[in-house]
Amino acid sequence: MLYLFRFFVLVLRFYRKLGPDPSTSSQLVVSPPSQPSSEGSEETPLRRAASEPNLKVKNKLKKHLNTRKSPLTRKESAPPTIKHRAADTQDSSPSSSSTPVSGCSSPNDSLPNENGLLPSAGGLSHECVSFCVCVCAGLVYDSQMLKHQCTCGDNSSHPEHAGRIQSIWSRLQERGLRGQCETIRGRKATLEELQSVHSERHVLLYGTNPLNRLKLDNRKLAGILSQRMFVMLPCGGVGVDNDTIWNESHTSTASRMAAGSVIELAFKVAKGEIKNGFAVVRPPGHHADPSNPMGFCYFNSVAIAAKQLQHKLNISKILIVDWDVHHGNGTQEVFYRDPSVLYISLHRYDNGNFFPGSGSPAEVGAGAGEGFNVNVAWTGGLEPPMGDTEYLAAFRSVVIPIAQEFSPDVVLVSAGFDAAEGNPAPLGGYKVSAKCFSFLTHQLMSLAGGRLVLALEGGHDLTAICDASEACVSALLGIQDAMPEEVLLQKPNANAIRSLQTVIQIQSQCFVFAVLLLLLLLFFFCACVCGDQH
């Protein structure tokens, strides 16, 4: 039934809503955080036009969805899965002076309560909701992550450098956004937390430095460290590959700080201590697989946070949306067979000719996880490049319908901004605006009761990533600029339409296999029943 409903909704939305619909466009109004919404209406529809999903489902479909028995739905009798703890009001970084802000209005106060996406406190199984009063957005950052730099000392030859997060953190301060958020204290992920995703060998190789190795088993370390292989970079520094630098003193600490900070923020959001949040972290993580670092990544922060939510808070369903322009091969590998984590990636693919080469639409998951891996793989190069219209169309026709069907408890976003306009062609080449990223963030806030965590991944043009980060944090606070009318009324380019059609076609093939399997099981069941009667 999962594939049947998914296929029907995808086809309906794609073919009926892909084109412009000027008659349905209306101005989107979002209340500022200092003025909680007082609207009593149950439905306040979002702006609906050519590039935005119509989030309503026909009454019959809604009735069918609410009454069907889905393996993805939590049992009504299930016990609460999240326990509350006192909020941590300490500062997250030695360089930060922001203090927690209480009494902020919810970014979702003015969003429609459709399909049970924003249930009341009485309808949630999470006991913390009934007495948590803090609905602020959270930010996490730590200056220790700045120390991960190539030993050559020349950042100009390394796209992933400390200036990325330093610039973002300064921009948020300049715009007054840090003062409107609660600043969370970052921490290093423990070796045990890292091993929830990565192998012990990988964790010991890249999660330790000469100082903390003194506390570990020397015999085990000696054998593992002897296997380390580094390359000399053209700049004169050292790397684990031609792109990914290594600093023996600081890389492990910065990588563990990035992972631990995302975990800490995700836990506070999941427990209801804060409404949502943005993790200003580096190095990125979504390319790191269980056994290998690559693409500037050492530990998969978002995947580790998801695993910890599963293991320590018993979160049933987690949605990971990855809008970095590069496919998150590491995240896909970790959850490829896991039906409790839905991974949706939007990335430049070009038939496997763009780094890292993975992320085909045909990669849909395996075993119990089949159908829980969705790759919106853009193909067609940069003629023309994908932009706002194409990304909004993908959200409308693929991302939001599937996410609504999955009905996650928490949403994590690998928020890479290398699809933003300004990044060079080898590292992106697309033209997604900061306003579009704000709009996508706002769309995801309609899921999981607004429990949304964004973690910085890629993005190497400083102006672009600062603009996009500012826009996303503003959206988390309930502040959003309207999308330009010409973008909302524009049709996606032909390459984008073909790419989206491919995704829908492959999902429908999964549905066919699921139906055949169901019929086979019914046949054997009937045969057994008939045999017992005889």
Residue 127, token pair as written in the block: 């006991």
The single residue listed with the structure tokens 């700045």 is 146
Q: Are 459 and 465 in contact (CB under 8 A)?
A: yes
d(CA 21, CA 488): 9
d(CA 434, CA 349): 22
H or E stretch including 183?
Answer: strand 182-184
Closest CA to 321 of 368, 259, 370, 376: 376
Residue 158, token pair as written in the block: 């390394």
d(CA 27, CA 92): 38
CA dihedral 352, 458, 290, 239 (to 10 degrees): 100
Q: Which of 161, 287, 326, 347 is catalytic?
A: 287
Which alpha helices (DSSP H) does 378-484 contain, by range?
388-394, 400-406, 434-444, 462-476
Q: Are 457 and 468 in contact (CB under 8 A)?
A: no
Q: 74 to each of 315, 317, 417, how far by Cα in Å?
A: 10, 9, 34
Closest CA to 47 of 508, 485, 497: 485
d(CA 395, CA 17): 12
Tell me, yes or no, if 126 is annotated catalytic.
no
Q: How many CB atoms lie within 10 A of CB 86?
A: 6
Query: 272 in the Ramachandran plot: left (φ > 0), alpha (ψ -120 to 50) or beta?
Result: left
Q: Are 416 and 323 in contact (CB under 8 A)?
A: yes
**458-497: b (≥16 Cβ within 10 Å) or e:** bbbbbebbbbbbbbbbbbbbbbbeebeeebbbbebbebbb
**Which residues are catalytically annotated?**
287
